[in-house]
Amino acid sequence: MNQFIQKYYDTSIPSLGSGGAVKVLSPATVANVVCGFDILGFALNEPNDEFTISLSDEKGVTIINDDAYDLPLDPEKNVSGAALLALLEETPDIKGFHFISKKKIKPGSGIGSSAASAAGAVVAANHLLNNRFTKEDLVRFAMFGEKVASGVKHADNIAPAIYGGVTLIRSIFPLDIVSIDAPELHVTVVHPQIEVRTSDARQILKQRVLLKDAIKQWGNIAGLVAGFIKHDYDLIGRSLEDVIIEPVRSILIPGFDDVKKKCKEAGALGGGISGSGPSIFMLSRNEVIARAVESVMKEVYENIGLAYHTHVTTINQQGVKLL
Amino acid sequence: MNQFIQKYYDTSIPSLGSGGAVKVLSPATVANVVCGFDILGFALNEPNDEFTISLSDEKGVTIINDDAYDLPLDPEKNVSGAALLALLEETPDIKGFHFISKKKIKPGSGIGSSAASAAGAVVAANHLLNNRFTKEDLVRFAMFGEKVASGVKHADNIAPAIYGGVTLIRSIFPLDIVSIDAPELHVTVVHPQIEVRTSDARQILKQRVLLKDAIKQWGNIAGLVAGFIKHDYDLIGRSLEDVIIEPVRSILIPGFDDVKKKCKEAGALGGGISGSGPSIFMLSRNEVIARAVESVMKEVYENIGLAYHTHVTTINQQGVKLL
């Protein structure tokens, strides 16, 4: 059915009218940035999903998958669909959307695949509607997509996908998003091909933490934010320490300790689990170091004998891009 | 004995030689800045202690109290004395110091009285020694004074007293102090005349906290640091929220909830317990609001029938000042 619809629409795309269609690139994102669990994320220049949206005379959202992931076509069960339905609730003048999804960010990789689907869909729709909504509105809509993906409305991938750069979610209810300036940073990501379910990664966390550890953590997040805004690489490096989440979650990721240790020896400022894993990210001052870090990551997973993908990229300052 | 020594030295001060004596003003400080428990502090322009130091031919530290507080004269039991003894450990060429203490910051008020004693002593000594030590060294020495005062080596009052402005103690071991730029801020402090022992205030805290509260707290400290550096008053105001320490400690301070609520209604950005109390501080954008906040504080304690002192001041950007 999925295949059939996909083929059917592939040929019919031109009929949507190029004038009425909007195409966007929606970026991967890193959330839970080390000491910034649940509050800090940033967008990547690579990889990106590609989405095309146009107005439809049919009510609701018609989804066409133009990729290999066989994601649900029922908009209420589809991340992009749920986000678009939330947006449609506030656009009584619009009947519906045609939405073509060409995902390249593998679901479950830990680099914000679902956020890219949700954020990309609503930013594209907003372009189609002459940008009638604010970025904060779009985050609000996209969070309905995240709820479909993980059962929880969180914004630490969506906000950087929509705002670009490094974003702080100071508070989720009420939503308070703060853009954090940062110096040039190169990001290396390795995605070992294992599955870490977000729900498992959540369940493994302890509900209570030691106050002394929490104090260390908020010292580090304060240092990290100051380091970003002051463009102080050394302070960023010293602050990239997570004494609460990483010690618990990293056991789900084979090779984690080895990757982290060797990447820092190779010159990385630091890094950790991307989202809830299994991807691991490292920040570096320049591309030469970021490439050396990639070599180290490859070496570790070659030795373990685990398949992997890597990305060497930079921070995406713009968020979802109109094509 | 204290009185005798004081009088004896009062008349002998000129013999120390004005050329060889250094006099400093050492500021009060606010630590545990709302969501920045144990990691964030700032210095005040008022009140200040006044200290005079000169070289001595006698070994160790001779302390003269020129105030009403009758603090210990044994340097090992005296906050300034312990800090100076720590400094003397690293100055084999210096025999000792004469130290005259004229304290105006009441011990136990929660605005860094002991830190002023420790920081003022070592900064004054460093001037006498042609500034051979770095500020970080001085913090290290002064922490021995804090240990005498509270049994714990903490730096969140000492660092702002020595560096001036708003300071982040990202880490205490190893010591990592980060100066945080901030916009013009007016500070109103009320000191209700009750005793809150630092040890009691420590004991009342729970050793474990909910992860979800810790996440809120590190969202707020990240927002507060960003708000300071970006000079964003609204963000500062939104981030001045403490969901972990204040709910527990504020029960030790009569009138706390009332003061906080009414000060915010009067226009304060926010505030909370200063140090471990009993003083309460509020931050405001301008002096007019800071004075209105003072009136509110006075009203609350007049109604309760509890004696109090207030200060309306600004952030001291310089730290301990040479006179």
One digit per residue, the tens of pLDDT, for chain A of length 323 reads 344 343 334 433 333 444 589 999 999 999 999 999 999 999 999 999 999 999 999 999 999 999 999 999 999 999 999 999 999 999 999 999 999 999 999 999 999 999 999 999 999 999 999 999 999 999 999 999 999 998 888 899 999 999 999 999 999 999 999 999 999 999 999 999 998 877 788 889 999 999 999 999 999 999 999 999 999 999 999 999 999 999 999 999 999 999 999 999 999 999 999 999 999 999 999 999 999 999 999 999 999 999 999 999 999 999 999 99
| Interface residue of B225, B228, B239, B246 to substitute, partner A, most A CBs within 10 Å | B225
Is B198 designated active site?
yes
Residue among B189, B205, B294 at smallest CA distance from B249: B205
**Residue B150 has what pLDDT?**
86
* Alpha helices (runs of H) in chain B, residue ranges in sequence order: 2-12, 79-88, 113-128, 135-150, 158-163, 198-203, 211-230, 233-239, 246-249, 256-265, 287-304
A323 found inside a domain: no
Domain match, A217 and A281 both: yes
**Residue A11 has what pLDDT?**
36
Domain match, B127 and B227 both: no
Q: Are B108 and B277 in contact (CB under 8 A)?
A: no
Residues of chain B with pLDDT > 90, as a percent, come to: 88
- Please state, rounded to an integer, the average pLDDT across all residues of chain B: 93
Domain match, B172 and B221 both: no
DSSP track, B88-110: HTT-TT--EEEEEEE--S-TTSS
A320 found inside a domain: no
pLDDT in tens, A83-141: 999 999 999 999 999 999 999 999 999 999 999 999 999 999 999 999 999 999 999 99
**Residue A153 has what pLDDT?**
85
Q: What is the CATH number of the domain that holds B210?
A: 3.30.70.890
**Residue B16 has what pLDDT?**
40
Domain match, A103 and A249 both: no
Peptide bond into A254 cis (omega under 30): no
Q: Could you report how far apart the first and last alpha carbons of chain A are, in Å?
A: 29
Assign A275 to helix, strand or coil.
coil
Q: Are B204 and B249 in contact (CB under 8 A)?
A: yes
Range of the domain at A92: 2-180
Tokens of A206: 């302890």
Domain match, A175 and A205 both: no
How deeply is B19 buried, as exposed, middle or buried, from its count of CB atoms within 10 A (0-12, 13-18, 19+)?
A: exposed
| Shortest CA gap A162–chain B (Å) | 19
A302 found inside a domain: yes
Domain match, B283 and B256 both: yes
A319 found inside a domain: no
Domain end among A180, A199, A225: A180
**Taking the model in full, what pTM does it have?**
0.93
A269 found inside a domain: yes
A13 found inside a domain: yes
Residues of B in contact with A217 (CB under 8 A): 214, 218
Q: What is the CATH number of the domain that holds A96?
A: 3.30.230.10
Residue among A188, A195, A172 at smallest CA distance from A259: A188
Does A239 lie at the interface with B, CB-CB under 8 angstroms?
A: yes
Domain end among A180, A209, A242: A180
Domain match, A30 and A46 both: yes
Domain match, B31 and B161 both: yes
- Chain B: residue nearest A228 by CA? B226
A322 found inside a domain: no
Total domains present in chain A: 2
Residue among B28, B26, B44 at smallest CA distance from B322: B26
**Residue B43 has what pLDDT?**
98
User: Any bridge partners for residue B52, and if so which?
Assistant: B23, B100
A166 found inside a domain: yes
Domain end among A180, A205, A237: A180
Which ipTM score applies to this complex?
Answer: 0.92
Tokens of A102: 């060409």
Domain match, A205 and A159 both: no
Domain match, B37 and B55 both: yes
Residue type, B314: T
The residue with tokens 């009088």 is: B7
Q: Which of B52, B198, B246, B313 is catalytic?
A: B198
Residues 6+ apart with CB under 8 A from B131: none
Q: Verify whether the Cβ–Cβ distance A208 to B205 is below 8 Å.
A: no
Statement: residue B104 has pLDDT above 80: yes
Show contacts of A72-81: CB within 8 Å, 24+ apart.
A73/A1, A73/A2, A73/A5, A76/A148, A77/A148, A78/A117, A78/A148, A79/A114, A79/A117, A79/A118, A79/A121, A79/A145, A79/A146, A79/A148, A79/A149, A80/A51, A80/A117, A80/A118, A80/A120, A80/A121, A80/A145, A81/A121, A81/A145, A81/A148
Residues of B in contact with A209 (CB under 8 A): 208-211, 214
Domain match, B200 and B278 both: yes
**Residue B165 has what pLDDT?**
98
Residues of B in contact with A230 (CB under 8 A): 229
Domain match, B159 and B268 both: no
